[in-house]
Structure 1
Amino acid sequence: MVLRTLAGSGTVDIDCAIRLRVEADPGDHSGRSWRLRVLEHRMQGDSARFGRITITEEADPRSLPPSTLRLADAKAPRYELRLVCPSLTVEVERALPGLLDRIGPRLLGLGSAPSTAGSVTLTTTEPLVLENDNLTSWELHRHTLASRQPVGLALTGMPGVTVATIEPFTVLAEHSEHS
């Protein structure tokens, strides 16, 4: 995964592991399409520049994200899988000192620029969507999922100030029937 800071610090590669738990909504099945509910989203990664990075979904059990599994072609079975994580909180262990300097400490209410890097919490400005529109079998337990659009990250206390983006990335996903 690549995190791109918008403050001129460039990009940072993050080695990460993602865990998603989803379930099919038994009450929302129409023909060849199943609505999926994202129950849990966890991501932990490490970066030499940022330290540990953790993404946690702000889950609301009353909402049903528009995640779907759809049988696209019955003759030569092909499924389309679309997982939507509507809102994510990103906790960065060590923010780059330059990142906060460039945003403007006064905007953050910090007074003067911090002398050392500290942790910072960011929130996505749009949903993170992982998808694959060419799954040949749901019986195979390994799939490649891709995010196709950058997802903005804003300071939690200032949702209108985008400071970084999660660049499009691909992950190798494994699934099990029971977890």
Structure 2
Amino acid sequence: MDDIVRQAMAKWPNVPSAYGWLGLDARGNWYLRDEQAQAAGAFASGRPGAKGALVQLEKLVDFIQRNYEVDEAGRWFFQNGPQRVFVELEATPWIWRVAADGSVTAHDGRPAQVHAVFTDEQGRVYLRTDRGFGLVHTQDVAGVAEAVEAGRWTPQAVQAAELPVREGYVPSPQAQAGGR
């Protein structure tokens, strides 16, 4: 977490949390969700306009990713100065990129070490790593297949609906909080 964020938290300790205003999609992209986007539906609903506006400013993306953390209840958030902005997850808290050499990085660009590989009923691939649990980016599934064929990874079958509880993350803190 950035020092400036820690300082703001100390200076203003009682700022209310925000729900529904930020989302992470299944490809590792960040979206800002204004009232119109939230009114269009849940972030992961697939409804037109529900995702909101793609964050394209590189410095803002970097700031979000440096200050992206999880609380004790499994709700992922972006600490924006003194305000905790809970993140709506389209899929999982991490989106993994798998390079040709088998190395794995998260959507924030930092490396991860794979501990387990999973596939769900729809053929999606997930990794549990030293950094946490996440979905493999769709463009990198072939790299996972190569690692499996080479005997480096052995996937286990899972049911997608069971993953949030099993892996300890909350896909929609907004829905959990009663739609705030």
TM-score range, shorter chain: under 0.3
TM-score w.r.t. the length of structure 1 is: 0.24
TM-score w.r.t. the length of structure 2 is: 0.24
The structure with the greater share of residues assigned to helix is 2
Question: Greater Rg, structure 1 or structure 2?
Answer: 1
The structure with the greater share of residues assigned to strand is 1
